[in-house]
Amino acid sequence: MSETPNETLTGAQITVRLLERQGVRLVTGYPGGAILPIYDALGQSTAIRHVLARHEQGAGFIAQGMARVSGEVAVCMASSGPGATNLLTAIADAKLDSIPLVAITGQVPKAMIGTDAFQEVDTYGLSVPITKHNFLVSSTEELLDVIPRAFAIAASGRPGPVLIDIPKDVQSRTIEVAEWPAPGQRVMPAPADGMALAEAASLIAAAKRPLLYLGGGVIHAGASELALELAEISTLPTVMTLMALGAMPVDHPLSLGMLGMHGAPYTNLALDECDLLIAVGARFDDRATGKVAAFCPQAKIIHIDIDAAELDKIKTAHVGIVADVAEALTRLLPLLPENPRAEWNARIDALKAAHPQPLPGVNDPRSHFGLIRAVAACLDDDAIVATDVGQHQMWAAQAYPLRRPRQWLTSGGLGTMGFGVPAAIGAALAAPERTVVCFTGDGSILMNIQELVTAAEQRANVKIVLMNNAVLGLVHQQQTLFYGQRLFASEFQSMPDFVAAARALGIAAVDLDQAANPCAALADAFARPGPCLIHAGIDAEQKVYPMVPPGAANRDMIGAQA
Amino acid sequence: MNAINRNENQALSRAVLEIDVANHPGVMSHVVGLFSRRAYNVEGILCLPVGDGRQSRIWLLVNEDQRLPQMIRQVEKLEDVNAVRRHHADHAVFTDLEAFFQA
C-alpha cells in the first residue's frame, strides 16, 4: 500500500498526508501557535488549498457551505483556546443540521495539558455534546487511525461533525510510517426491514388522505428523485421542512411547500386533515410540528430515518423503518400501485384556493417579497441560495422558487445568525461555476461581516442581498405580537453605512434604495462576477406571516389571511 | 433510608443499565453527559475494565422515567459504546454493594 516504505514524518506531515489521501482539496481555517506545525506542513502541500478566514467561526461556516453544497465531508482548522472556542458555534450548528465536518484543532503540548497553559482550554470536554464524536489524540501513531475514522464517522449514518484535538508535541514528533491506512469512507447501514416496508406500502394503499413529509435527511441521502417518484406514483401531496426545501420543486403540482411555524395556511390545514403521515428523513422538530398533541391528530405515521433514536422520540410511529432513506424508498416504490387519489387532491386544491400564502407586495421589488422574487428573476435553478437567520430567512423560504436539492443553505436547527455570509463563501468555493446569493439582515450580517474580506480575497461569486429594516426583525415581531408591543433591545439606534462598509472591506456594493430602477440595478449586480453587497431598505412593520405562536397548534395561525 | 426501603424503592422505580464501552479517558463523560444535559439524574455509577483492558463495562443505576427508552437509544448511538443491556433495579451489581454505602 505504501508508496515509499518507512517514511519518517512528523505528526503534522502525517495529518496533511492523510487529508490528501482522503481526497481533501480545500480546507479553511485560521492559524495560531498550537496548530503551527500542521500549518507548516499544509504550506508544503501542493494538493490542498487553504482558505484563510478572518474569524474561526467564519472558517467553520465556510466549511459548512462546502459540505452542504457538495455532500462531502469538509475540513476546518483552528488553534487551541480561543481558536477552538470560536469554532464551537459552527460545530454545534453542523450537529443540529447533520452536516459532515471534520474540525481539527491544535492543543497545547501534552505535558502542559491541565496546567492552565497559555491558550489552553478543554476543547475535548467542550465539544462532547456538540459533536457526533471527538478525539483527543494522545500519540503521533494514533493519527493514522483517528483521521480516517473521523471521516468515516462524519459521513456514515446520520452525518455530523467530528472534532480532532491534536496536542502540539503530537504534531511535531516524528515517527516512521510503514503503511498508510485506507481513507475513511461512508459505511452503509443495514438494509430496511422488508416486512416493515410491506406494511408501509399497505398503509399507503389503504390511506384516503395521506401526506408525504420530507426532511433534511432526504437531501443528505441524495433521495430527492426517489421521494418525487414516491409522491407521483401514489399522488401524495408533499410538505417539506425548512431543511428539505428544494427536495421537490416548490411549483410541482403535489408540493405544499414548507410546513410549520411559518408554513403556508393551506399546508398546515392539510396536515390537520391527513389520515396518514409518511415522514422521510424528518425529525418532528418543534418548529415543524407546533403543539405535538395537535399535529396531524387523525394520522397514522410511517417514519423512515437513518437514526434509530429519532423513531418514537416525538411521535410514536405505526411503522418505523431505520434505514438509509434512499435504500428504503428504492425498495418501497415497486410495492406501490399507482393511485390517483382524485378526491383528496381536489380537497388539497380547494384548501390552496381558500387559504393561500399571503405574499403582500410580491410585484414590488422595493418590498420584502418583491425583492426576493426580483432576485430569483435574475437567476436560474443552478444558483445557490444561502440565508442568514431572521425574517429575511423565513421570507426567502416562503417566496424563493427553490427547485433542486442542495440549492438551499440555511441554518435550521441551531438558527445561527452569522451563518449566511461565510456559508455562501464556502458554497462559492465548492461550486465556483455557480452564482451564490445570500439573503441576510442588518442584524445577522454584523455577526460575521469580517468574512467580506475573505470573499474579496477569494473573489468568491457571492451576491449578498442585505434586507435592512434597522430592527432585529423576529424579536421585534414577537415583542409586538406577544409582549404588549414593548419593543426593547430590538431597534438599532445606530446603523452603519453598509454600502460604504462593504466597499471598505473590499467588495463592490450597490444601494437599491438609491437606484431609479431596482430590477435593472439587481440585474447589473448579478451580471458582474465576484462578490457584491446589494443593500435594500425594508419596512420594519412587515411581519413573517402566517405565524404559529410558540407552543400553539399549527392550525392556530396568526396573519393567515391574504 | 434503610436497606429494605431502598430495595423497595429501586424495584418500583429504577433500572440498571449495563454498557460495554471502549476504555479511554473520554468515554465516561460521553455517557453521563447524555444524562446530565437532560437533567436526568444518574443514581449510581460503576466502571471497571474487562478482559485485556481495551474495553470497560459501565453500570448505571437510573430512575425509571418515560425518557429512558430514548436515553438508551442515545447511549447506543455513541461511537465508543458497543452494547447496552437493561436490567431490573434488583440486579446484584448494585445490591451487593449496599454495605459500602451505609450512612
CB pair distance less than 8 Å for A309 and B77: yes
Average pLDDT over residues A286-299: 96
pLDDT given for residue B2 in this prediction: 47
Phi, psi dihedral angles at A52 (to 5 degrees): -85, 120
What pLDDT sits at residue B100? Answer: 92
Nearest neighbour of B29 by CB, restricted to A125, A153, A309: A125
Tell me which residue in B33, B73, B77 faces A129 most closely, judged by beta carbons.
Answer: B33
Mean pLDDT of A523-548: 97
pLDDT digits over A387-404, tens only? 999 999 999 999 999 999
Task: Give pLDDT tens digits for A87-105.
Answer: 999 999 999 999 999 999 9
> Contact A454/A423 with Cβ under 8 angstroms?
no
A-to-B residue pairs, Cβ atoms closer than 8 angstroms = 28
> What is the spatial distance between Cα A395 and Cα A387, in angstroms, rounded to a whole number?
10
Cell 451580471 -> residue: A527
Instruction: Indicate yes or no: CB of A133 within 8 angstroms of CB of B79.
Output: yes
B1 pLDDT band (50/70/90 cuts)? very low
Say how far apart CA A79 and CA A33 lie, in whole Å.
Answer: 7
| Nearest C-alpha neighbor of A211 from the set A278, A265, A283, A258 | A278
* CA-based nearest residue to A243, from A280, A296, A274: A280
Q: From residue A537, how far is each of A334, B68, B99 by CA, in Å? A: 52, 51, 73
- Determine whether B66 is exposed, middle or buried from the number of CB atoms within 10 Å of its CB (0-12, 13-18, 19+): exposed
* pLDDT band, very low/low/confident/very high, at B5 (cuts 50, 70, 90): low
Running DSSP on this structure, what letter comes out for residue A3?
A: S
Residue A74 CB neighbours (<10 A): 30
| Residue of B21, B30, B34 to mutate when probing chain A, most A C-beta within 10 A | B30
How many Å apart are CA A210 and CA A233, to the nearest integer?
A: 13
What is the pLDDT confidence band of residue A4, given thresholds at 50, 70 and 90?
low
Looking up cell 423565513, which residue turns up?
A394
Alpha helices in A390-528 (DSSP H): 391-399, 420-430, 451-458, 473-482, 498-504, 518-527
- How far out from the chain centre does Cα B25 lie? 18
Confidence at residue A512, expressed as pLDDT on a 0 to 100 scale? 98
Residues in chain A: 562
Give me the amino acid identity at A217: G
Percent with pLDDT over 70 in chain B: 88
Tell me what ipTM this predicted complex has. 0.91
Contact B73 A128 (CB under 8 A): no
How high is the pLDDT of residue A250?
96
Summarize pLDDT for A419-430 with one digit per residue, the tens: 999 999 999 999
Q: What is the pLDDT of residues A120-169, one digit of tens each?
A: 999 999 999 999 999 999 999 999 999 999 999 999 999 999 999 999 99
Is some CB atom of chain B closer than 8 A to the CB atom of A110? no
**Contact call for B29 and A153, based on CB within 8 A:** no
Residue A3: the pLDDT is 54
Least confident of A3-12, A489-498, B43-52: A3-12
Q: Do A308 and B76 touch (CB under 8 A)?
A: yes
- Computed over every residue of chain A, the mean pLDDT equals 97
| Unique residue bearing C-alpha cell 416562503 | A398
3-state class (DSSP) for residue A536: strand
Residues A359-379 have a mean pLDDT of: 97
The C-alpha angle with vertex A134 and arms to A132 and A135, in degrees rounded to 5, equals: 160
What is the C-alpha to C-alpha distance for residues A400 and A369, in angstroms, rounded to an integer? 9
Cα separation, A275 vs A205, in Å, equals 12
Confidence band (pLDDT; 50, 70, 90) for A561?
A: confident
Retrieve residue B47's grid coordinates.
466502571
A133 close contact with B: CB closer than 8 A: yes
Answer for the pair A238, A211: CB distance below 8 angstroms, yes or no.
yes
Count of alpha carbons within 13 Å of B3, Cβ hemisphere only?
10
The enclosing H or E element of B39 equals none
Peptide bond into A546 cis (omega under 30): yes
Q: Is B77's CB within 8 Å of A134's CB?
A: no
**Planar angle of CA B63, B68, B74, nearest 5 degrees:** 130
Q: Tell how far CA A162 is from the center of its chain.
A: 16
Q: What percent of chain A has pLDDT over 90?
A: 98
| From A128, A308, A309, residue closest to B30, measured CB to CB | A128
Confidence of residue A2 (pLDDT cuts 50, 70, 90): very low
CA-CA-CA-CA dihedral for A517, A518, A523, A528, to nearest 10: 100
Chain A contact probe: residue of B77, B78, B80, B84 with most A CBs at under 10 A = B77
Full DSSP string of A415-433: --TT-HHHHHHHHHHH-TT
Residue B55's DSSP bridge partners are: B22, B50
Chain B residues within 8 A of A159 when measuring between CB atoms: none
When the pLDDT of each residue in chain B is averaged and rounded to a whole number, the result is 89
Full-model pTM = 0.96
Q: Do B26 and A309 touch (CB under 8 A)?
A: no
Give CA–CA dist A333/A351, Å, rounded.
28
Chain B residue with CA closest to A128: the answer is: B30
- Give the HSE-up count for residue B46: Cα atoms under 13 Å, Cβ half-sphere: 14
**Residue-level pLDDT at B65:** 87
Chain B residue whose CA is closest to A122 = B26
Strand order in the sheet with A161-167: A49-52, A26-29, A74-78, A101-107, A161-167, A133-136
Of residues A159, A212, A203, A383, the one with CA closest to residue A300: A203
User: How far A541 CA lies from chain B's nearest CA (Å)?
Assistant: 38
End-to-end distance of chain A based on CA atoms, in angstroms?
66
Query: Are A157 and A307 a contacting pair, CB within 8 Å?
Result: yes
Asked if A462 and A425 count as a contact pair (C-beta separation under 8 A), the reply is yes
Instruction: Summarize pLDDT for A174-233 with one digit per residue, the tens.
Output: 999 999 999 999 999 999 999 999 999 999 999 999 999 999 999 999 999 999 999 999
- CA distance to partner chain A, nearest, from residue B93 (Å): 28
Chain A residue numbers with beta carbons less than 8 Å from the beta carbon of B25 are 136
Contact predicate A151/A102, CB 8 Å: yes
In this structure, what DSSP letter does residue A553 have?
B
DSSP 8-state assignment for residue A363: T
Q: At a CB cut-off of 8 Å and minimum separation 6, what does A1 contact?
A: A179, A180, A182
Q: 3-state DSSP call for residue A362? A: coil
Alpha-carbon Rg of chain A, whole angstroms? 24
DSSP state of A260: S
